[in-house]
Amino acid sequence: MGGNKTTEFSHLPLATNRPMECALTGSELLSCAYLNKGSAFTEKERDEFGLTGLLPSNVQSLEEQSKRAYSQFQSRSDNLAKNTFMTSLKEQNEVLYYKLLQDHLKEMFPIIYTPTEGEAISNYSSLFRRPEGVFLNVNEPQKVEQSLSGWGGPEDIDLIVVSDGEQILGIGDQGVGGILISIAKLAIYTLCAGIHPHRTIPVVLDTGTNNEDFLKDDLYLGLKQKRVRGEKYDKLVDTFIKTAKEKYPNAYIHFEDFGLPNARRILDEYTPKIACFNDDVQGTGCVTLAAIYAALKVAKLEMKDIRVLMYGAGTAGTGIADQIADAIAVESDKSREDALKQIWCVDKPGLLLQSMKDDLTPAQHPYARKDEEWKGKKTDSLLEIVKEVKPHILIGTSTKPKSFTEDIVKEMAKNTDRPIIFPLSNPTKLHEADPADLFKWTEGKCLMATGSPFDPVEYKGTKYVVAECNNSTTFPGIGLGAVLSRAKLMSPPLLVAATKALAAQAPALKDPNDGLLPDVINVRDISVKIAAAVIKKAKEEKLTQQEGIPDKDEELEKWIRAQMWDAEYRTLKKVEHHQATREAKGEAGPKGKKSKTQN
Ligand SMILES: NC(=O)C1=CN([C@@H]2O[C@H](COP(=O)(O)OP(=O)(O)OC[C@H]3O[C@@H](n4cnc5c(N)ncnc54)[C@H](O)[C@@H]3O)[C@@H](O)[C@H]2O)C=CC1
Ligand SMILES: CC(=O)C(=O)O
Ligand SMILES: [Mg+2]
């Protein structure tokens, strides 16, 4: 991760170059994942913190530890075993966990995130060993206050990721196992944007499950009842948000993988009131639009002329469509109404039509086409719709694997020189098409990005990079910007600024066979650029609450980097328990539920 931790910035609220105060000793210290250094504790620390005799004699470096952990990782027989190994490592030594991830980012990202994390989530109750995060029970809203207590004082939490587990990745209702998506997204915030891992809370709202397998499973750990809807559900959400904001007023709230009936509704309700973000709607919208900007440059197309076909008009699909509509309107100086006409949405029953209005979600309504325009035409076949619409861009967020078939793709290629095709459904097995097939069917002409990672594809001697179009390149930087500026709201102009900052980093702008989006390997630098763009825009919009944000770009980037957490062992300063101070404010107080000492 490599810090830029000059003393110049030591005074900043989230600077991490000061010694950490530690009240723990002996085996308690070894059991605290956040402070534990294992074999890397120095002789002096071993004496000072009562560790003498509790560790083998050879003092090792973090690099040596990472090497050993990597060989242990490699010895695990399959990806799920590797995922559980990583979970255990995180519970033992958090710095080493992030160091190992950083040393092998490309290889390990798919293990701790999509696709393997999806498998871990569906096996949550059988793999369960110890709890992490906050579990809020829909039948006990009165306990929300107590459940959210003990994570520190009002200044100590920057970010909360919350899921209700209803629509996890593309694998549907995972009930209480949804806690793992909150945990995984937070790990990505730390890895990719240096969000301080001890200033965050993962939360799951346990509102029941409609997953019959879980309802029948004796080992299932969540509420064994059908999902609660309506007032009682809304009360839990509202109690959670109000309590979280009362206790931790700085906390930026990230919603993840809520079901279709709730995702957009909750976002619309709270966006004008608090700094919040729905990753599936907004994160996915931003990253996809950034990839489209790059693809249009390569294809020499302009926003004002494009025709876009969305396949799967759920949370992610309509989120993407909205971002594209806004971009068309702005870039082409059109009304939003005219911009909407350039986007066609298809869902289970086929093309969205105005006659379906009673069955459409509020987010789908604006995309419903006039029935007269489609009279006598087949609206329930993607192939026929492609023939009619002649799209330049085809995006899949349907969870229906292999639905972009050879005839559909070839039909699309008849009408546009460089078909832009993004199969985005996760995990990998749900992708609407396989990259190798798409290159074959379009003779290497398609411009592609996928929801989960793929190796580059070779077609007739040319190597094409397949960009990963996953919100993971975007949400960490947006969150970092929101946290550091203490943004009051996450307003649309901030998201536009983030999208443009990401789009400017696309490797395809230099080499058309390279990725439409930057590689995850560079994600920390990308996050800095995105955070800087978000902060600058927030300042312009008068949405910042943090003092002293530098104006000049270079200074701003330094200011951001100085407050990003790094996977490095920090000097420990011994204090008595009652004196343990908080990193952020220098105030007395225990760390709370994560450990018995400060961060
Ligand atoms: N690449 C990325 O960054 C992201 C990818 N996704 C992926 O997108 C997919 C959808 O996620 P959400 O929008 O959250 O789910 P959702 O359930 O809100 O939306 C899925 C939509 O697809 C529709 N659908 C299902 N079968 C279909 C079919 N045969 N034909 C046409 N439409 C069909 C559903 O009716 C629904 O409207 C998931 O696989 C998810 O992993 C979601 C967010 C981010
Ligand atoms: C990437 C993501 O957020 C999803 O697939 O739901
Ligand atoms: Mg998601």
3-state secondary structure 72-120: HHHHCCCHHHHHHHHHHHHHHCHHHHHHHHHHCHHHHHHHHCCCHHHHH
Residue 206 β-bridge partners: 137
What's the mean pLDDT when you consider all of the chain?
A: 94
Quote the pTM value: 0.94
The answer to the question of residue 127 being in a domain is yes
Residue 11 CA to ligand 3 center (angstroms) comes to 36
State the pairing for strand pair 159-163/20-22.
unpaired
Residue nearest to atom 4 of ligand 2 (CA): 169
As a whole number of angstroms, the distance between CA 270 and CA 234 comes to 12
Largest CA distance in the chain: 84
Catalytic one among 37, 185, 536, 596? Answer: 185
pLDDT at 12 (0 to 100): 84
430 Cβ inside 6 Å of ligand 1: yes
The answer to the question of residue 545 being in a domain is no
Probe target for ligand 1 pocket from 169, 398, 450, with the most ligand atoms within 8 Å of CB: 398
In Å, what is the CA distance from 194 to each residue of 107, 435, 564, 582? 19, 32, 4, 18
The answer to whether ipTM exceeds 0.90 is yes
Q: Does residue 253 share a domain with residue 288?
A: no
The answer to the question of residue 97 being in a domain is no
Q: Yes or no: say if 124 and 218 are a contact pair by the CB < 8 Å rule.
A: no
pLDDT at 594 (0 to 100): 52
The answer to the question of residue 34 being in a domain is no
Q: Yes or no: say if 558 and 532 are a contact pair by the CB < 8 Å rule.
A: no
284 Cβ inside 6 Å of ligand 1: yes
Residue 235 annotated as catalytic: no
pLDDT digits (tens, 9 = 90+) for 317-376: 999 999 999 999 988 999 999 999 999 999 999 999 999 999 999 999 999 999 999 999
As a whole number of angstroms, the distance between CA 17 and CA 6 comes to 8
Q: Does residue 312 share a domain with residue 428?
A: yes
pLDDT band at 586 (very low <50, low <70, confident <90, very high): very low
260 Cβ neighbours under 8 A, 6+ residues apart: 167, 314, 315, 361
Q: Does residue 447 share a domain with residue 396?
A: yes
Torsion-angle region of 239 (φ positive above 0: left; ψ -120 to 50: alpha; else: beta): alpha
505 secondary structure, DSSP code: T
Q: Does residue 349 share a domain with residue 200?
A: no
Q: Among 83, 112, 114, 78, which Cα is nearest to 430's?
A: 114
Q: Yes or no: say if 366 and 343 are a contact pair by the CB < 8 Å rule.
A: no
pLDDT band at 10 (very low <50, low <70, confident <90, very high): confident
Q: What is the CATH number of the domain that holds 157?
A: 3.40.50.10380
- The crossing angle, in degrees rounded to 10, of helices 79-92 and 105-112 is 90
The answer to the question of residue 524 being in a domain is no
Give the torsion through C-alpha atoms of 314, 319, 323, 326, to 10 deg.
Answer: 80
Range of the domain at 212: 116-259
Q: Does residue 301 share a domain with residue 249?
A: no
Q: Which atom of ligand 2 is nearest to the CA of 279?
A: 3
Q: Does residue 151 share a domain with residue 221?
A: yes
Burial (CB count <10 Å: 0-12, 13-18, 19+), residue 93: buried
The answer to whether residue 506 scores a pLDDT higher than 90 is: yes
pLDDT digits (tens, 9 = 90+) for 17-52: 889 999 999 999 999 999 999 999 999 999 999 999
